[in-house]
């Protein structure tokens, strides 16, 4: 499977007044491993596993996107862009 950018980037509020945009499984993996603001969580663990599967070519990139969105919601970082188009796309 291809491991390119997600169909839509995920914009979320990382902390009060601080927004982040994640556009690929590689970016999500880095954020989950190095910048995640809370410890643990079922959705967090699941997102890490799914990202590894995507990077290994076992799953589709948008599986990682969906898992990242769920983990961010679990951590209290709501998505702020449900309709953001993909990079270079027109919606």
Tens-binned pLDDT, residue by residue, of the chain (91 aa): 667 799 999 999 887 778 899 999 999 999 999 999 998 899 999 999 999 999 999 999 999 999 999 999 999 998 887 654 444 544 4
Write down the pLDDT at residue 4: 79
Write down the pLDDT at residue 84: 44
Q: Which two tokens stand for residue 57?
A: 């070519």
**Residues 72/12, Cβ–Cβ less than 8 Å:** yes
Write down the pLDDT at residue 16: 73
Cα→Cα distances 44→48, 51, 75, Å: 6, 11, 8
CB neighbourhood size of 65 (10 A)? 25
Write down the pLDDT at residue 88: 52
**Residues 75/41, Cβ–Cβ less than 8 Å:** yes
| pTM for this entry | 0.85
- The H or E element containing residue 72 is helix 61-74
Write down the pLDDT at residue 21: 95
């Amino acid at each position: 499977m291809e491991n390119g950018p997600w169909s839509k980037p995920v914009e979320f509020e990382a902390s009060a007044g601080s927004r982040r945009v994640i556009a690929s499984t590689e970016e999500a993996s880095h954020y989950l491993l190095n910048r995640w603001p809370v410890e643990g969580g079922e959705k967090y663990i699941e997102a890490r596993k799914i990202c590894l599967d995507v990077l290994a070519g076992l799953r589709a990139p948008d599986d990682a996107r969906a898992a990242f969105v769920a983990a961010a919601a679990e951590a209290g970082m709501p998505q702020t862009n449900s309709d953001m188009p993909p990079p270079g796309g027109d919606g």
